[in-house]
Amino acid sequence: MIDQIKQQIERLRARGATYVDTRWYPYEETNSLLMWNGNLKDTSSSRESGIGVRVLYKGAWGFSASSDLSNLNALYDKAFDNARVAAERVTFPVRLAEKESIEAKFESPSRINPFEVTLADKVAFLREMDRLLDQPGVTQRVSKLDFRRKQIIFVDSEGSQIEKVITDVFAGLEVNGLDSEGGMHERKFNPPRRGDSRGWETIDLRYFSENAERIVRELKETLQAERCPVDDRSVILLPGIMYLQTHETIGHALELDRILGYELAFAGGSFVTLNDFGKLRYGSEKLTARADATLLNTPGSFGYDDDGVPAQDNLLIDKGILVGAISGRQMVEEANAKARRAIFNGSSGANRATAFYRVPIERMTNINIDPGNDGTLEDIIRNTEKGILLDGDRSWSIGSNREQFHFGTEAGWLVEDGRITRPVKNATYKGATVPFWNSLSAVGDRSTWEVCYVANCGKGQPNQIMQLGHGVPVCRFDNVRIGE
């Protein structure tokens, strides 16, 4: 098949294509299980395979894809014809940043293939979690498992040939309950990255059991708590909500295609402009953020992107100053041309597609906040006079250009004079993105830093669901409005 792909690429090059690439998925398989209140509500599996082809001709893209590989001539001709028609209407000819020709293989670390684990073992895990979650005060309980595995072979007209085998395991627990006023509350556990692997071995029964007991306990505290006051306080964000703050107001805001206006119709744009790079004080000097696709064990690490560019640790915000973006080969060239200066020195290796039948677009890798030197969680609480400690994402609302936000959290605890005093329910906080990040007054040390997984990040038309991670420490922000 690889020889046939190379022949087709050379055939289109001979017809005048300036660039051709192919993503062949020999397989992509998924397996999902969901237990709800002791009932196995879903157990499903899928498997698909196919080829996606991109062609660049006279500054315009053409794309085609198929799971039927019996007529490669027709598949490649369709992509070429689409590019030829698009070239008649192109307004800004596509140029691609330079990259090296690469022959490589990447396999995500996985000791036990989850697709070789028996259904009985998977169901036994869910039943044990359901037993632990089945406590007085819990009206609904959910335990779930989601497994994904795929092989991708990338070949392009510049001489690259890259094979990737990606395995991901996602698991989660959730409990819900009603307070005395009839309000529904939830508490979830989505395990952060642990260890050096991401196979079935990450389903650690003891670890999940401890956290099952914890979320039930915290749900019960919330159900009995008073409402969150409306106030201006310091907010201390634990990783379970800090990851979402990072995702929505740094990650999506710094995707370069959004900055150039390509996502406005569906997912929204960005308040960032090309003139802001190297100048905008995005946050306080305590804020350093990066897109790091080199972390060993997270779905935001994939070896090479779908342009064939190696994964990178790319600085986005350096001590508060905006310096970088999440980018692919096409958008960096367009951005530099429109800015009339060299903002970007090549792709950051972040162009990805969710399937063989989708075109690659700029997607978040692991958008991380560097740990700071303000100590442990206990140290930050001890140094907070009037605050609130928040965890868990319950609701979110974000401006169309990521310029402001309003988040509801699952759990909150008031902090007075350096100590936690009592839990509150319906805790919320809001702010404007740049002033909020500039109010960052404390960043926890490495002991507070966790890599939280995101299994369902949506973007693009047609919509593409992508997986990634966020490495975030505990952070404190001052003078933030809560409770409304």
User: What is the pLDDT, as a whole number, of residue 319?
Assistant: 98
**Per-residue model confidence as pLDDT tens digits over 412-467:** 999 999 999 999 999 999 999 999 999 999 999 999 999 999 999 999 989 999 99
Residue where the block lists tokens 């003139």: 275
**Per-residue model confidence as pLDDT tens digits over 286-321:** 999 999 999 988 999 999 999 999 999 999 999 999
What is the arithmetic mean of pLDDT over 22-44? 97
Q: Are 235 and 220 in a shared domain? A: no
- Cα 316 to Cα 199, 313, 369: the distances in Å are 30, 10, 10
Tell me the DSSP string of 405-471.
Answer: EEEEEEEEEEEETTEEEEEEES-EEEEEHHHHHHTEEEE--GGG-EEEEEEEEEETTTTEEEEEEEE
User: What is the pLDDT, as a whole number, of residue 296?
Assistant: 85
Q: Are 199 and 325 in a shared domain? A: no
Query: Parallel, antiparallel, or unpaired: how do β-strands 226-227 and 475-482 relate?
Result: unpaired
Per-residue pLDDT at 16 exceeds 90: yes
What crossing angle do the helices spanning 72-87 and 2-14 adopt, rounded to 10°? 30
Q: Are 420 and 307 in a shared domain? A: yes
Q: Are 231 and 198 in a shared domain? A: no
pTM: 0.96
User: What is the pLDDT, as a whole number, of residue 417?
Assistant: 98
User: What is the pLDDT, as a whole number, of residue 196?
Assistant: 85
Q: Are 334 and 447 in a shared domain? A: yes
Query: Parallel, antiparallel, or unpaired: how do β-strands 103-107 and 161-178 relate?
Result: parallel
**Per-residue model confidence as pLDDT tens digits over 78-120:** 999 999 999 999 999 999 999 999 999 999 999 999 999 999 9
Question: What is the domain range of residue 476?
Answer: 227-482
Domain boundary among 181, 203, 224: 224
Higher pLDDT, 321 or 197: 321
| Total of domains in the chain | 2
Q: Are 211 and 237 in a shared domain? A: no
User: What is the pLDDT, as a whole number, of residue 194?
Assistant: 84
Q: Are 318 and 170 in a shared domain? A: no
Q: Are 457 and 400 in a shared domain? A: yes
Helices (H), 29-177: 72-87, 119-133
User: What is the pLDDT, as a whole number, of residue 195?
Assistant: 82
Q: Are 217 and 137 in a shared domain? A: yes
**Per-residue model confidence as pLDDT tens digits over 238-289:** 999 999 999 999 999 999 999 999 988 777 899 999 999 999 999 999 999 9
Residue 399 CB-density burial (10 A; 0-12 exposed, 13-18 middle, 19+ buried)? middle
Q: Are 171 and 54 in a shared domain? A: yes
Q: What is the mean pLDDT of the chain?
A: 97
At 384 the three-state DSSP class reads coil
Per-residue pLDDT at 197 exceeds 90: no
Upstream peptide bond of 423 is cis (omega within 30 degrees of 0):
no
Q: Are 157 and 180 in a shared domain? A: yes
Q: Are 270 and 311 in a shared domain? A: yes
- The one-letter amino acid code at 89 reads R
